[in-house]
Structure 1
Amino acid sequence: MSVAEWVELESQQVLGRAGERLSHVYFPTNSMISLLSNLEDARHFEAGQIGFEGMLGASAGLGVTASAFDAVVSGAGQAWRIQLDAWRSHCLANRTLSLLTTRYLYVELSQMGTMVACGHFHSLEQRLARFLLMSETRLRTPDIQMTHETLAHLLGVRRAGVTLAAGKLQESGVIQYTRGHILVLDREALLAQSCGCFDQDLETYERVMSGAVA
């Protein structure tokens, strides 16, 4: 699209606030956007995650221009962006584009449901492994630039818990952690440490976006 603009996204950059109108629709290429749900006591946790497979602002194509969550860059990199009104016009004029956007919204909702269930029923070690798998996949690199404090905020747990869980993964040779950097050394071992939610999300995306579900 000629209206698309190539932009650099910086870590912790705020792209949207819950309840406020988005200015642009974003399509990450090698960056990652976290959708944060905020509680009254200023705590927050990650309710959704967007990488190269998705977009921020999909609901704009259906007429909803406000963000449901705070949208914050959790993995720096590049993205394409389009002014929100231009994106809405394209969706109204292109039925195929509108259909793909609707399918993606279904996937996003499904993945949010999985994330809620995962946070309730699975251990912190499993959730951390799943988060690192999602991050490695979406950032397209095994080198994840993220502190334990940021991880704790996104997972909605105490920093000490993340430090302990990450320490176990490092001791077993699955990851290597230095200040602000997590390097995935063994993806297969990380998959084994994770719950089945990661594979479930991938299967849902492939099935729905391919058109296998009417």
Structure 2
Amino acid sequence: MKPGQVILEDGDPVTHAVFPHDGVISVISQMESGHTVEKASIGREGFVGFSLVMGGGEAFGRSVVQVGGSASWVSIDDLDVALARFICVRQFMLRYAKAHIVQLMETVACNSLHSAEQRVVRWLLHAHDRIKGDAFYITQETLFPSRLAPRDCERDLS
């Protein structure tokens, strides 16, 4: 996976589940104003194609690689066979769905209570947990995708 690579567009039919081995994929919504917001981020703890487990077949947002890495792509047909044949796969997917929902609720709470600096630090720590090693490439645009002017991002985040 390469940074900036679009895995799915909002509303696209989900044809594959994508399981990152490392790296970070963000699920993004674009507002009418042109601003974007990250709805969720996914690393090696999960997969893109979450709607499949919930009984849907369309992407919940635009999925974009933020931190490059590797991933396994599993076709819907193969995933459906595995879900039907192996109860442990279904249980794993449902446990991930529950954990992902809990994480989303925590993110909502954090976004409403914490400063921008604290939210950036949280994002960076989550990204670090999802990669192999202690260094990764990230751009200012990845952290501040909502068309912020450079003066809005002057604070040194190192």
Instruction: Please list, as runs of the form range in 1=range in 2, the aligned pairs for 1:35-114 lying within 5 A after superposition.
Output: 35-114=27-106
List structure 1 runs of 4+ shifted beyond 4 angstroms: none
The separation in 2 between residues aligned to 1:141 and 1:161, in whole angstroms, is: 30
- The letter for the 1-side match of 2:132 is R
Q: Is the 8 A contact 1:29 1:78 kept in 2?
A: yes
Which of these residues, 154, 163, 166, is aligned with residue 154 of structure 2? Answer: 163
CA distance in 2, matches of 1:40, 1:26: 28
Alpha-carbon distance, 1:48 to partner: 0.8
**Partner residue of 1:27?**
19
Contact in 2 for aligned 1:60/1:88 (Cα 8 Å): no
TM-score (normalizing by structure 2): 0.90
Match of 2:138 in 1: 146
C-alpha displacement of 1:162: 3.5
TM superposition shift of 1:37: 2.0
Normalised to the residue count of structure 1, the TM-score between the two structures is 0.68
Q: State the AA in 2 paired with 1:102.
A: L
Give the C-alpha shift of residue 113 in structure 1.
Answer: 1.6
- SS of the equivalent of 2:136 reads strand
Residue ranges of structure 2 left out of the alignment (5+ in a row): none
Displacement after TM superposition at 1:131 (Å): 0.8
Q: Structure 1 residue 146: deviation in Å? A: 1.3
Q: Which amino acid letter does the alignment assign opposite residue 41 of structure 1? A: S
Amino acid in structure 2 at the alignment position of 1:54: G
**Superposed counterparts of 1:129-208, under 5 Å:** 129-153=121-145, 156=146, 158=148, 159-164=150-155, 167=156, 169-170=157-158
What is the aligned partner in structure 2 of residue 122 from structure 1?
Answer: 114
> C-alpha separation between the residues in 1 aligned to 2:85 and 2:53?
10
Offset from partner CA, 1:148-180 (integer Å, 9 cap, x none) = 122101xx583534331xx1x43xxxxxxxxxx
Identity of aligned residues (%): 27
Structure 1: runs of 5 or more not aligned: 1-8, 171-214
Q: Tell me, yes or no, if the aligned pair for 2:51 and 2:60 is still in contact at 8 Å.
A: no
Quote the Cα distance in structure 2 between the aligned partners of 1:132 and 1:62.
28
Q: Distance in 2 between matches of 1:157 and 1:115?
A: 21
RMSD: 1.7
Structure 1 residue 53: deviation in Å? 1.0
State the secondary structure of the residue aligned to 2:91: helix
Over alpha carbons, which structure has the higher Rg? Answer: 1
TM superposition shift of 1:78: 0.6
